[in-house]
């Protein structure tokens, strides 16, 4: 399946310190290609195994102005031993409407990570891989 790049937060984004996703999705652009009534799912998975951090928290945030963000979905702390290549952090339906701008926010706990990359995107629930 081909991933719509306008719906992508992170493409093998190195997460070494607490940071926002590389990309902010502007629903004013991203939703142009969606069919009315399409269900949206948040997909977040480990692309490259993490090292040296204690844990990672991933949050989906939204904003009306692309400056002030609010958490919509937030994982509990995920221990480093779990953050191995291929591990699905999130693959869930987004149940409520989101504001125009959306991003992921990665919170690193403990030491900064010396390795670890994430893929994150919004797409159909059946989508299981970034193409």
Domains of the chain (ranges plus CATH)? 5-123 (2.60.120.1110)
pTM, two decimal places: 0.86
Q: Which residues contact 14 (CB under 8 A, 6 or more apart)?
A: 48, 116, 117
pLDDT in tens, the chain (131 residues): 445 667 999 999 999 999 999 999 998 865 444 444 578 899 999 999 999 999 999 999 999 999 999 999 999 999 999 999 999 999 999 887 899 999 999 999 998 889 999 999 998 876 544 33
Residue 122 CA to residue 100 CA, distance in Å, equals: 14
3-state DSSP assignment of residue 73: strand
- DSSP assigned state of 9: E
Residue 83 CA to residue 72 CA, distance in Å, equals: 22
């Amino acid at each position: 399946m081909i991933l719509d790049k306008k719906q992508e937060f992170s493409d093998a984004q190195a997460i070494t310190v607490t940071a926002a996703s590389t990309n902010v999705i502007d629903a004013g652009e991203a939703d142009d290609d969606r069919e009315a009534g399409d269900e949206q799912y948040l997909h977040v998975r480990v692309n490259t195994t993490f090292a040296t951090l204690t844990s990672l928290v991933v949050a989906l945030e939204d904003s009306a102005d692309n400056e002030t963000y609010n958490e919509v979905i937030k994982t509990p702390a995920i221990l480093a031993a779990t953050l191995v290549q291929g591990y699905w952090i999130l693959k869930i339906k987004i149940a409520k409407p989101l504001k125009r701008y959306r991003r992921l926010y990665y919170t690193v706990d403990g030491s900064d990570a010396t390795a670890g990359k994430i893929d994150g995107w919004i797409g159909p629930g059946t989508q299981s891989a970034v193409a």
